[in-house]
Structure 1
Amino acid sequence: MTTGAAQLGSRWTTWVPLLAVIALVLGWGRELPGPAVAVVGLCLIGAVLAAVHHAEVIAHRVGEPFGSLVLAVAVTVIEVGLIVTLMAGGGEKASTYARDTVFAAVMITCNGIVGLSVLVGALRNRVAVFNAEGSGGALATVCTLATMTLVLPAFTTGHPGKEFTGDQLAFTAVASLCLYALFVGVQTVRHRDYFLPVPSEGGDCGPDEHAPPPDDRETWWSVALLLMALVAVVGNAKLVSPAIESGVESAGLPNAVVGVVIALLVLSPETLAAVRAARRDRMQTSLNLAYGSAIASIGLTIPSIALATIWLPGPLVLGEDATHMALLALTAVVSALTVVPGRATLLQGGVHLVLFAAFVFLSFSP
């Protein structure tokens, strides 16, 4: 092993994914007692942190906005895997898992991640600066996808309840996938400059801009370890999900809380990466992560779940209730007012965080 590989092997970001995979193998297919659930939960947290590190290594190698895209797609793979596994064994109550998780992802990204990033960026430089063109286009894509997949099912009349008919679901899945592909093309090829970090008013885009990128060996190590960490996150989250579901049920909380917890788990790598980017004066990277994750969460998850309904038991309920529609509409308006100027202060960050807090509170107390 070379010196670089040996140094990589000595890092916690290397052995933590290995431990998480070992915990997954030992616990798979078993009913875990409380202490074992706690150990698996610690391995899950460690795998998430390791995934963030290796995604950032890859991102530094390939550059922006490709780096944000890598992590967004990786997190969406986690989300799809969790939703499908939970729906496969969750019975009738699992019919809303996809809706609850996707809506929670939109609220977490557009309010939680954006709010925290703006807050951190504004505390550092008084004003957080970013590209309005790229962020505005990404926000428009998020709003369109969220309305098509989470609002329209509550108003269509082809199927009783808040469900699409088969034809409507197929159209929505294809349209979502096309919008996602169009966004990726614009972000990475045609208008890539709209998604590059903007230098702050007092300096450059942070110290990482001057750090040498990792070599090929370290990059491929990070690719392998990122995949390992993602498998560990999906599997270990599945292992602890019965404890989450039983805890929600025993506490008398709404079933939607399960979707919120799932979204918080799978988006924790994005949140950490976005806040770290904001601390390094790369606010545009934070917004790329936030809105890119929301777009991937809908544009890739809904088509995947639509395809999975061919063999999954039970209905697929996507339509939201009036409370969540109001939160979504308010989020769209506030986000537009934040993004359009290309500059944001502590006030905008605080408004987004209050909206996120309202979503979490209403999920526990509807």
Structure 2
Amino acid sequence: MPGSSTPLAHPLRRPFGLPAWTVIVPLLGLVALTLGSGGLFSAIKLALLGAAIMAAVYHAEVLAHYLGEPFGTLVLALAVTVIEVSLIVSIMLSEGAGAQALARDTLIAAIMITVNGIMGLCLLAGGRRHHKQNFTRSGVSAGLAMLATLSVLTLILPNYTVSERGPFYTDAQLIFVAVVSLAVYATFVVAQTIRHREDFLHVDPAVKKAVTHAPVVRSQALAAGLSMVVTLVVVVLLAKKLSPVIESGVAAIGAPQALVGIIIAALVLAPEGFAALAAARRNAVQTSINLAIGSALASIGLTIPAVAVASLAMGLELELGLSMRSTVLLALTLLVATLTFAQGRTTFVQGVIHLVIFASYLFLTIFP
């Protein structure tokens, strides 16, 4: 599975060590683009889209093992975010019902899935197996501060500005928030990889001894990088073809349009969730936290500039402000996350709490 370390430990099965399916799936995806739009063809495209996402994240994880931490989690987060942005923009361009609120719905879903869903499962699974798990507080605190800042600026503040009525920013405000989002995320990347790299690492000799990977050679890493680029292109093209199908499917079952954002976020974050869960089970919860917070930051820091450019270039309205219900859940999430990571160690108790918040978010989205 792409989210785990198992595939990299296998002997080389192809030149450069890439499994056959990760190369075949993008090729099949290109062929599927020529198919019609019937129900069967849409199902095939959807299956290939899911497989292509898994292949892209697999290639990203090969690069992750080659580069080492914390560069590995950064590459994985960036790969997932590129996929997320492509899906959001594709559906926005379709101009279907709820398209103007899709970015907002996907961003809040990404935060809830990463901070509550993924982290809840990781802390629960890791706590059950290892009782208490330790991590470095300084990096996590910095990441949460950045996440809280971006969340408020992009998802809450639009409701309280007076230049534009409703949950919207003016063009000037949107440009400012897009620049600020990109600047904050760039700051996080520099801190994580250069200036304060040690704050995002927690080395446990027992864990390091227990976790071994087959070495990734330079040729294998280069092949994975090129394959990842090709696979991401296929994902974008398939997403553009399938965007009307996702919207019509949600409408057909009578679910709120916000469910489209949850589907997109869940689709692209599922492989990363597997990676985080595998890390927590082997007592490397620092990697799980880096993945969760890094993905949430990347989702906002890269998605907002991308959708801002798209909306301004094509004259689309971009609804960013959250409802009061979602605002309360976001505030609760940030508060509980701050308390969870304040001590430098976690247990299964915090995992249960985060999962309860995530379940409440899902239930109240479907049954508002």
Give the deviation of 1:242 after TM superposition: 1.9
- Out of 83, 103, 107, the residue aligned to residue 102 of structure 1 is 107
TM-score of the aligned structures, taking structure 2 as reference length? 0.92
Give the C-alpha shift of residue 9 in structure 1. 5.6
What's 2:168 paired with? 163
2:3 aligns with: none
Deviation, structure 1 residue 206: 5.9
Aligned CA distance change for structure 1 residues 269 and 34 (closer, same or farther; 3 Å): same
Q: CA deviation at 1:120?
A: 2.1
Q: Which of residues 96, 100, 117 is equivalent to 2:122?
A: 117
Query: Contact 1:198 / 1:283 at 8 angstroms: preserved in 2?
Result: no
* Count of matched residue positions in the alignment of Structure 1 and Structure 2: 357
Q: How much does 1:141 deviate?
A: 0.8
Q: Which residue of 1 aligns with 2:301?
A: 299
Match of 1:150 among 141, 155, 163: 155
> Counterpart of 1:229?
231
Of stretches 352-361 and 220-229 in structure 1, the one that deviates more from structure 2 is 220-229
User: Alpha carbons of 1:330 and 1:251: their partners in 2 closer, same or farther (altered >3 Å)?
Assistant: same
2:8 paired residue number: none
Unaligned runs of 5+ in 1: none
Return the alpha-carbon distance in structure 1 between the equivalents of residues 284 and 126 of structure 2.
8
Q: Tell me the equivalent position of 2:207.
A: 204
Amino acid at match of 1:8: G
- The 4+ residue runs of structure 1 with deviation greater than 4 A are none
The 1-side partners of 2:30 and 2:56 are apart by 13
| Gapped regions of structure 2 (runs ≥ 5) | 1-11
Change (3 A) 1:349 1:152: same
Hey, what's the Cα distance between the residues in 2 that align with 1:62 and 1:186? Answer: 17
What letter matches 1:26 in structure 2?
Answer: T
Q: Distance in 2 between matches of 1:279 and 1:229?
A: 29
Q: Quick one: which amino acid aligns to residue 344 of structure 2?
A: G
Any conservation in 2 of the 1:177–1:300 contact (CA below 8 Å)?
yes
Q: Which moved more, 1:73-82 or 1:335-344?
A: 73-82
Percent identity between the aligned chains? Answer: 46
User: How many angstroms does 1:311 deviate by?
Assistant: 2.1
TM-score by length of 1: 0.92
Q: Deviations over 1:201-244 (max 9, x none)?
A: xx223644x43531111111111222233223333333333222
Summarize deviations over 1:97-124 as a string: whole Å, max 9, x none: 1111111111111111111111222122
- Of 132-141 and 83-92, deviating more is 83-92
Q: Which amino acid aligns with 2:208?
A: C
What root-mean-square deviation, in Å, do the aligned CA atoms of Structure 1 and Structure 2 show? 1.9
- Whole-angstrom distance in 1 between the partners of 2:260 and 2:169: 23
Is the Cα contact below 8 Å between 1:5 and 1:218 reproduced in 2?
no
Contact 1:205 1:280 in 2 (8 A): no
Q: Which residue of 2 aligns with 1:17?
A: 26
Distance 1:363 1:55 in 2: 32
What is aligned with 2:353? 351
1:6/1:185 Cα in 2 relative to 1: closer, same or farther (>3 Å)? closer
